[in-house]
């Protein structure tokens, strides 16, 4: 909590420059990874990167297969792969590096003044995971939830609209609460895990040299948590998608 | 409200940790039972356990973020 993030106000909107640069960096890394993996594609003699990407694709196919029929789920394979790769790279990015600069009141970058929260001078952190910002996780969640609603309306209209009042219209408030809590929990879960991990890294760093074993243990744990959260986000996406588009399976009503 | 914010941070995270501990303990305990009953399902049960832990830990982690916010307000 010693350091703050470079916040600028442009046209009344609050922008976090560290998050913006890290979003772009993560996108570039995932894109370069994917591009390099499909160079010299070969069935009989795959390169290591092609092998790795094929493993990722099969992994996501497995995730889709556990929640819905693969024929119905085929269109969402790319969504799942993008989500899991982006979130995983984003989670890992904030762990090894930290860039902190000092700034005084009135400091500005590219002509925009930094918001130091009223202090005279502050330490500004420029490198963090993009998913450690509620804006990024919220955006990913909005994309996913909007997709589930749109696909549910498009592919499964009658059942999708009816499931709010099945099995009894008295369940409507609960169904509405579910529609609110799904996006909230999806966004806050990823945000909380990664943000808390980074704050802990900052706290452990304050111990100086004596914090090294604790830092090693915590970094290892953070890698584990980052991977699990990427997997859970992708899996919950597929579960919500299957709940929206596959409703005829329940034959009891 | 400086001091009360610190108390709020402590309470919110203490209760969150309690919930996380009990919840995770139940999940892992049942998974160990399941593995002991059917050792060939070890992979599936482990994967489901990790998913369950991530889901159960969502709210205590939100409590942790709230505790950091309260601590910053103090």
Nearest to A128 by CA among A94, A87, A91, A92: A94
The token duo for A143 is 């994309």
What pLDDT is recorded for position A76? Answer: 93
Best residue in A188, A196, A233 to probe B by mutation, most B CBs within 10 Å? Answer: A196
What pLDDT is recorded for position A33? Answer: 92
CA–CA separation, A116 and A123 (whole Å) = 9
Q: Tens digit of pLDDT for each residue in A174-225?
A: 889 999 999 999 999 999 999 999 999 988 988 888 889 999 999 999 999 9
| Contact state of B51 with A1 under an 8 Å Cβ cutoff | no
Nearest to A215 by CA among A228, A226, A203, A227: A203
Here the ipTM equals 0.88
Per run of 10 residues, the mean pLDDT along chain B (length 74 residues) is: 88 95 96 95 92 92 91 78
Which chain B positions have a beta carbon within 8 Å of A200's beta carbon? Answer: none
DSSP code of residue A99: -
Which chain B positions have a beta carbon within 8 Å of A237's beta carbon? Answer: none
The 3 state secondary structure assigned to chain B is CHHHHHHHHHHHHHHHHHHHHHHHHHHHHHHHHHHHHCHHHHHHHHHHHHHHHHHHCHHHHHHHHHHHHHHHHC
Going along A110-201, which residue ranges are E strands? 112-113, 121-125
DSSP A13-39: EEEEHHHHHHHHHHHHHHHHHHHHHTT
**Mean of pLDDT values over A156-164:** 77
What pLDDT is recorded for position A230? Answer: 95
Which chain A positions have a beta carbon within 8 Å of B55's beta carbon? Answer: 189, 232
CA–CA separation, A74 and A64 (whole Å) = 8
| Contact state of B54 with A185 under an 8 Å Cβ cutoff | no
A185 touches chain B (CB under 8 A): yes
| Contact state of B72 with A1 under an 8 Å Cβ cutoff | yes
Nearest to A79 by CA among A187, A237, A190, A242: A237
Choose among A185, A192, A231: nearest Cβ to B64.
Answer: A192
């Amino acid at each position: 909590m010693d350091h703050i993030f470079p916040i600028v106000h442009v046209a009344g909107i609050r922008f976090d420059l560290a998050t913006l640069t890290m979003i772009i960096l993560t996108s570039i890394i995932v894109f370069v990874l994917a591009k390099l993996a499909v160079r010299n594609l070969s069935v009989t003699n795959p390169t290591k990167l092609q092998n790795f990407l094929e493993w990722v694709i099969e992994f996501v196919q497995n995730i889709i297969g556990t929640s819905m029929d693969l024929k119905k789920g085929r269109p969402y394979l790319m969504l799942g792969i993008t989500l899991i790769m982006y979130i995983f790279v984003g989670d890992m990015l904030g762990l090894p590096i930290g860039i902190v600069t000092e700034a005084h009141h009135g400091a500005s970058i590219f002509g925009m003044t930094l918001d130091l929260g009223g202090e005279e001078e502050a330490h500004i952190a420029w490198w963090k995971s993009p998913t450690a910002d509620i804006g990024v996780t919220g955006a990913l969640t909005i994309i996913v939830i909007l997709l589930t609603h749109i696909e549910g309306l498009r592919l499964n209209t009658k059942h999708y609209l009816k499931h709010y009042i099945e099995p009894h219209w008295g369940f409507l408030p609960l169904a509405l609460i579910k529609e609110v809590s799904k996006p909230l929990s999806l966004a806050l879960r990823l945000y909380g895990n990664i943000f808390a991990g980074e704050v802990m890294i900052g706290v452990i760093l304050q111990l100086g040299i004596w914090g090294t074993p604790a830092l090693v243990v915590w970094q290892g744990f953070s890698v584990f948590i980052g991977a699990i959260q990427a997997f859970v986000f992708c899996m919950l996406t597929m579960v919500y998608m299957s709940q929206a588009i596959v409703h005829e399976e329940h034959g009891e009503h | 409200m400086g001091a009360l914010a610190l108390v709020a941070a402590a309470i919110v995270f203490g209760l969150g940790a309690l919930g996380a501990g009990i919840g995770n303990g139940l999940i892992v305990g049942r998974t160990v039972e399941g593995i002991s009953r059917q050792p060939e399902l070890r992979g599936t049960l482990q994967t489901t356990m990790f998913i369950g832990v991530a889901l159960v830990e969502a709210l205590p982690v939100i409590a942790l973020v709230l505790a950091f916010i309260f601590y910053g307000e103090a």
